[in-house]
Amino acid sequence: MAKTTTKNAKKPAAKPAAKPAGKATKPAAKASSASAKSATKAAAKSAGKASLKSARKAVAKSAKKPALTLSMLKPSVNNMSVRVFARAAGLDHSETDVWGHTRSPEYMARNPAHLTPMIEDKGLPRGVLWESCAIMQYLANKHGLEKLYPKAPAKRAMIDSAMFYLIGTLYPYVARATYPALNFPQYAGEVGHSDAHPDKKAEAQKAAIEAIAEPLEVFHSFFRNGKPFIGGKNPSIADIRLAATLEFLAAIDYVLPQWAKEYMSAIEKKLGKAYAEPAADVRGYIAHVKSQAAA
Ligand SMILES: N[C@@H](CCC(=O)N[C@@H](CS)C(=O)NCC(=O)O)C(=O)O
């Protein structure tokens, strides 16, 4: 697994597209070192043998800097999805914690939606990309990660369907159910965001909690359909997205069905540290808000 460098945005990185926010601590992944070799050769050919040494040095230096940077918030499961994915895929990348900076003029200039996760990657038409599922799809396409995102159209369609269903149906219920406990602001137009009486807010939260069971069962019976994961024998990007989402339910002590508990353990077992490391940030935040609520 390629190492991940995490740094805090002391001030919102002003021009991170031109200057990667973090430093790689491990040489770039295989594909990168392969292209580094040919770049060295090309540089040496055009510059002559005398400058081979300096060409090597220059390429080695640039190969150490991951071209991929991820702006993220540690307590978020939307972010956790991409953080798990990048680690599971072994992508050389750096992370910048942008807590408190997403609405800064600098961040908004790059990302008018002020959202995380957001990646910056060479070749993106606007230099940046947000939306967790789109990021995983793009990076899986770019790096040919077929194990995480199958190429066959019919298989891929099922992964896409599961992710759209999650973002469009399950996640809004999870957000309405858990955001009050997580101290996250709710979306405009929702009861939880309004001046409604606390009883009304509690009623809306209860309704959302009750609504979770149905889509959850759909993931189990329809998308998994007897297989260990939505992706089959191995977790796909849809599985990463689903398991991360379910992490938030601990904030309200939601009792998951047995299959979901086993499913989450199976993903963590398969992905190991790639899952456990970002999950620890989410779990740590949940433990923190719970301890505050209990105090
Ligand atoms: N559907 C999006 C949701 C992204 C999202 O809501 N991000 C939140 C954190 S959970 C955020 O960055 N909020 C900061 C802000 O709005 O300023 C995804 O899956 O990436």
Q: Is the CB of 12 under 6 A from ligand 1?
A: no
Which residue has tokens 């002559």? 48
Phi, psi angles (nearest 5°) of residue 118: -140, 135
| Distance (Å) from CA 116 to ligand 1 centroid | 5
Q: In the predicted model, what is the mean pLDDT of the chain?
A: 86
- Asked whether 194 and 271 are in contact (CB, 8 A), the reply is no
Nearest to 86 by CA among 282, 273, 283, 286: 273
Distances (CA, A) of 73 to 38, 84, 96, 195: 37, 13, 8, 28
- Asked whether 260 and 65 are in contact (CB, 8 A), the reply is no
Q: Is the pTM of this model over 0.75?
A: yes
Q: Is the CB of 115 under 6 A from ligand 1?
A: yes
Residue 187 pLDDT level (bands cut at 50, 70, 90): confident
CATH of domain 4-24+65-143: 3.40.30.10
Q: Is the CB of 32 under 6 A from ligand 1?
A: no
Task: Sort strands 4-8 and 128-130 into parallel, antiparallel or unpaired.
Answer: unpaired
Task: Sort strands 118-120 and 93-97 into parallel, antiparallel or unpaired.
Answer: unpaired
What single-letter DSSP state applies at residue 4?
A: E
Domains of the chain, by residue range, sit at 4-24+65-143, 153-294
Does residue 15 surpass a pLDDT of 60? no
Q: Is the CB of 167 under 6 A from ligand 1?
A: yes
| CB contact set of 250 (below 8 Å; sequence gap of 6+) | 283, 286
Which residue has tokens 């398969």? 270
From atom 14 of ligand 1, which residue's Cα is the shortest distance away?
115
CATH of domain 153-294: 1.20.1050.10
| Distance (Å) from CA 45 to ligand 1 centroid | 47
Q: Of 22-36, 55-69, 176-190, where does mean pLDDT reach its minimum?
A: 22-36
Cα 226 versus chain centre, distance:
26
From atom 1 of ligand 1, which residue's Cα is the shortest distance away?
131
Q: Is the CB of 111 under 6 A from ligand 1?
A: no
